[in-house]
Structure formats: structure tokens, C-alpha cells
Amino acid sequence: MLIDCDVEGPNSHIFFKEPMVKFKDVSIPAPKFDLEKCTLCGKCAEFCQYNAIAITGEKLLFFEELCHGCGGCKILCPDDAITEADHQIGIIEKGGKKDLMLYHGLLNIGEPFGVPIIRELKQFADESKTTIFDSPPGTACPAVEAMRDSDFCILVTEPTPFGLHDLMLTVDVARELGTPFGVVVNRDGIGDDRVERYCTGEKIPLLAKIPNDIQIAKLYSRGMPIVEGLPEYKAVFSGLYDKIREMV
Ligand code: SF4
Ligand code: SF4
């Protein structure tokens, strides 16, 4: 099973011929303010870490697009002036084929926070199958949420100073989460050997190297998996899978 957790720009589906079909809406609880009851005490605005509420003079202003749906303001309100209503932030779509199911999420344009969609997506993981979570890049909340509770993380990087910088940050996150991990070097052949030296020094397993091959880029642009167009790469990926199975 494949679950694409990059809810701001999922792209795993381009490698499937089957269309994606809407499966469900994802909502967060957003506060609704009863201005008859509100005494403008300001406790909700003071509490909100995301600056979604402001009290200006005789007015309470609510910026729904900044709200993360944590529910804290409702709990705190001393005058029972806050109720909650569902605010739809995106959808989940389902596709793929019988032997390789695909789920992905789509965050609505303008919504700042995709983590609730990632949490819901991860509920579809089938414990009886190998499930791959395709994480968003970086080390922000969505990437951390995708990595959380995984059995193993494959950290894909490029052999450049920029790749090494991001890799070091991601290694810190994986260590903090206590998740075993290894590194795959993509576009091997560009840049230098600092990523490899870093992995050796930190005793991080280097699981595979994928060469900087223009044929791979051409297949990618046509939505074709590498192993279908260039079967000689099958050994790289089956070797990667075998190495991970030995470690988890
Ligand atoms: S905490 Fe309740 S009463 Fe106080 S400003 Fe917010 S909504 Fe109004
Ligand atoms: S639910 Fe949380 S994030 Fe949204 S306005 Fe209330 S305190 Fe702020």
C-alpha cells in the first residue's frame, strides 16, 4: 500500500493509470463565537498560539484561515460563548489497483495546516501489508507527522551541500522520534562525497545510490516508474527492500 502524505502537492498518482476518486472530506473543529454572550475578556485571544483571534476595542475578530482547530479557546472561555463547527480543510482520494492501493490527501488552497489530513491518511495503513508513507520534504510538522510511528524511515538526499544540510536536520528528527533510518543517495554523481562521509562518521547505513541518469528523468516526466522503463534498476530497489527487511 502506498500513502502519499504530501498533502500540499501529492504526485505519487502520476505513476498510476487508474484515476483517483474522492473518498472523504477532512474537517477540523473551528470555533463559532456567540457575540451576545461574549464579554470581550480576551482570554481566547491570549491563549491562541496561532493569532487566529484578536480583540480590538469593542470587537472580537476571528481569522479562520489561521485556526488549527485545537479547541483550546472553547475550553477556556468563561462565558460559554464558543461552540464548534466543522471546517473542511481538504479531502482524501483513493486509487491504485488491487495489489497496490494508493491513498492521498489534498489540502484546500489557502489552508495553512495539513497535519490533520496526514493523521487521517495514516489511519488507512493496513498492518497486514507493507505500507509506504511518501513524506513531504523538509522537517516541518507535516514531515514529522508522516515519519511518526513508522517502522523505518528512508531518508532520500542528493550529494550536494544543500542535500547534506537537509539530511542532517532530518536525521535529528528521526533520532528524536526514535525511528530507525537509512539513507538513499539520489542523483549520485553530481556534487561531492560529503554525504557519504557524513553517513560513515555517524554510522548511518547507506542503503542505495541512484545514479544521475537522464533516462530516469525522462521516464519520470512521462509518469513511468524507473523499473518499468529501465529494468536494470530493479536490483537497486529490491536490494533496498531486502536491506530494510533485515533491519526491522
Ligand atoms: S474567552 Fe469567551 S468571552 Fe472572552 S473574549 Fe473569548 S469568546 Fe469572548
Ligand atoms: S481552536 Fe485553537 S487555533 Fe483555533 S482559534 Fe481556538 S485556540 Fe486558536
**Residues 109-132: b if buried by 16+ CB within 10 A, e if exposed:** eebebbbbbbebbbeebeeeeebb
Residue 153 pLDDT level (bands cut at 50, 70, 90): very high
Ligand 2 site-directed mutation target among 27, 33, 62, 73, most atoms within 8 Å of CB:
73
Q: Does domain 151-248 have CATH number 3.40.50.300?
A: yes
Q: Assess whether the C-beta atom of 54 lies below 6 angstroms from ligand 2.
A: no
Q: Which ligand is nearest to the CA of 56?
A: 1
User: What pLDDT digit, counting tens, does each position of 61-91 carry?
Assistant: 999 989 999 999 999 999 999 999 999 999 9
Please report the pLDDT score of residue 65 as a whole number: 86
Distance 58 CA to ligand 2 centre (A): 20
Residue 112 pLDDT level (bands cut at 50, 70, 90): confident
Distance 175 CA to ligand 2 centre (A): 30
Distance 78 CA to ligand 1 centre (A): 7
Nearest to 182 by CA among 231, 226, 242: 242
Written as nine digits, the cell of 129 is 501489508
Q: Which ligand is nearest to the CA of 40?
A: 1
- pTM for this one? 0.88
CATH of domain 29-88: 3.30.70.20
User: What pLDDT digit, counting tens, does each position of 5-29 carry?
Assistant: 999 999 999 999 999 999 999 999 9
User: What pLDDT digit, counting tens, does each position of 116-151 carry?
Assistant: 999 999 999 988 889 999 999 999 999 999 999 999
Residue 111 pLDDT level (bands cut at 50, 70, 90): confident
The domain locations on the chain are 29-88, 151-248
